[in-house]
Structure 1
Amino acid sequence: MKLLVLLVIGVILYFIARNYKTEKFENIKLDIKERFNGDLMNHEAGLLIALMAKVAKADGQVSELEAEMLKHTFTDISSHFENSSEIREKLKEIYEKEKNSFDNTISICEKLYKITKHDYVKRVKILEYLLNLAFIDKEFSKTEFMITEDISNALQIKKADFETLVNRFENFYRDQKNSEALSLDKAYEVLQSSANDDDSTLKKNYRNLVKKHHPDIISGQGASQDIIDQATKKLQEINQAYELVKKHRGI
């Protein structure tokens, strides 16, 4: 079964920075489900998980987002098999084993290359999926670069295609970071505060603004409906700004 043709249509993860939206595995329908009882390290599914294990552990630790992506990948891949529960457990076993060593990375790639030898597009999509995992915590370390580059070379992917994918992710996260910074600056402006204010000052400013723009208070002052509506909109903006700053500060 051409499992990875289905699995790597685009780079999945609905939560890559919670914004990089692509196909979910659950939206891909199969007319026939495969039953596989052999060694998954001879199957595209197992080899993909093995490489994901290497990439996830490349910088020495598996982040929360990487773990979440792996969990969903186990579920999504196994759902395409009749014996899904058994396959999911085997995929988890492969991950736990393969994350502990990088010595066999190239040999795993060679196995995968043999299976996908005549499908270059599929191999590029596999690499894109692995880069998705590497970038998902918004940090692309030197070790992650090295291992994904090694995988790319072993899968005989053109250097230009590898660089194009890396640049695409780097640009996406750079743009997102800039957007977040602008949004945060705007939030402080709305709250009539600054990033240098401590939490108590921020909270005090927020409460004062709520009192000033709360529609119930405005209504009690005999204001017109238009002014009350404006106050309601302003209060929503103030609340949104406060939630953004709180999230950024971890309070």
Structure 2
Amino acid sequence: MSWWGKLLGGGFGFMLGGPLGALFGAALGHQLDKGVNINFDERQGASADTSNELAQTAFFTATFSMLGYLAKADGRVSKEEIAYAERVMQNMSLSSEQRQAAIWLFNEGKKPSFHPDEILLQLKQQLGRRRNLMRVFIEIQVQAAFEDGVLHTAEEQVLLNSCRMLGISEMDYRAIVYMIQAMGGFEQQHGWQGQGRKQSKTAGSLQLADAYKILGVEKSATDSEVKKAYRRLLSQHHPDKLVSKGLPEEMMRIATEKTHQIKKAYELVKDNRFSLR
């Protein structure tokens, strides 16, 4: 049974508490104690399964509420941002109940009464040392910010603050932004694909440049550096590893798509480097 099924069935005694617990409880129509916040990673004898289920609940709650907050950051929620949130829900193959909860959380994040720092602080506490999960969380938020084709100053401030709260450096944030851009979130919005169809040579060079951005290395990087970056990214986005650490099972498809793009980028770079073949 998934984390969601256990939650609804009371199979693991939901005790997330804190602002995330209160927010999620309200999304389900339940009243949960705002004052209780148990980080099972820091308790001796705690069940690893329980810890992961709480992390999954926290990740789900923070993801959709922060998507709503980010969408409203520039003053208006665009149809593209709403469509992206819906696409995330669709990719997760959410049940009717899960979808309703996700929509409620998204709308709650848009309200003036929403407190993002409280949500992010508890998310960091709940995820503990699961840094790859924090990275995936930021990647989802960055992708959302690029959906309307413009990274607004207000949106970037939200993203930078989210990274600060989660302990992610600005350098790592910039690397995530470059990766998301290269994967098409921003460049497609600006018609680079259309230009590429007119000039195949330009398209090829752009694709190769994007491949290096996805891998997070310069074109001048050595073969060893390219391989190391590729293996690190694969490890960071490995779906099974992420789920075992607390990524909701429903988000496996998102992680799988990322690994597919990373592999494609590496293949393109390898094809253009005789020494890597």
Instruction: Please indicate the TM-score interval, normalised by the length of the shorter structure.
Output: 0.5 to 0.7
Q: Which residue of 2 aligns with 1:180?
A: 194
Match of 1:145 in 2: 156
Deviation at 1:85, TM superposition (A): 2.2
Residue 65 of structure 1 aligns with an amino acid whose one-letter code is E
Q: In structure 2, how many angstroms separate the alpha carbons of the residues matched to 1:184 and 1:63?
A: 30
Identify if the C-alpha distance between structure 1 residues 134 and 102 changes in structure 2 by more than 3 Å, giving closer, same or farther: farther
Aligned-partner Cα distance in 1 for 2:79–2:199: 27
Please point out which of 109, 118, 121 is paired with 1:98: 109
Identity %: 16
Q: TM-score, normalised by structure 2?
A: 0.48
Name which of 105, 113, 133 aligns with 1:122: 133
Over residues 191-232 of structure 1, what are the superposed CA-to-partner deviations in whole Å (9 max), with x where a residue is unaligned?
A: xxxxxxxxxxxxxxxxxxxxxxxxxxxxxxxxxxxxxxxxxx
Deviation at 1:185, TM superposition (A): 9.2
Cα distance, 1:135–1:102 mapped onto 2, change above 3 Å: farther
Matched residue, 1:131: 142
Equivalent residue for 2:4? 34
8 A contact 1:56–1:66 mirrored in 2: yes
TM-score of the aligned structures, taking structure 1 as reference length: 0.52
Amino acid at match of 1:180: G
Q: Is 2:132 the counterpart of 1:162?
A: no
Structure 2 residue 124 is the aligned partner of structure 1 residue 110? no
Give the Cα separation in 2 of the matches to 1:32 and 1:98: 25
Task: Please provide the CA RMSD for this pair.
Answer: 2.8
- How far apart, CA to CA, are the structure 2 residues paired with 1:146 and 1:118? 24
Aligned residue for 1:43, secondary structure, equals: helix
Greater radius of gyration (CA):
1
**Which residue of 43, 53, 63 maps to 1:48?**
63
Aligned residue type for 1:43: A
Distance change in 2, residues 1:33/1:43 (3 Å): closer
| 1:54/1:101 contact within 8 Å kept | no
Instruction: Give structure 1 stretches of 5+ with no counterpart.
Output: 1-30, 187-251
Change (3 A) 1:59 1:130: same
| Alignment partner of 1:59 out of 74, 77, 85 | 74
CA contact (8 A) 1:74 1:88 kept: yes
- The answer for the alignment partner of 1:74 in structure 2 is 89
Amino acid at match of 1:88: R
Partner SS for 1:164: helix
Name structure 2 gaps, 5 residues minimum. 9-13, 15-20, 26-56, 201-277
Cα distance in 2 for partners of 1:92, 1:78 equals 14
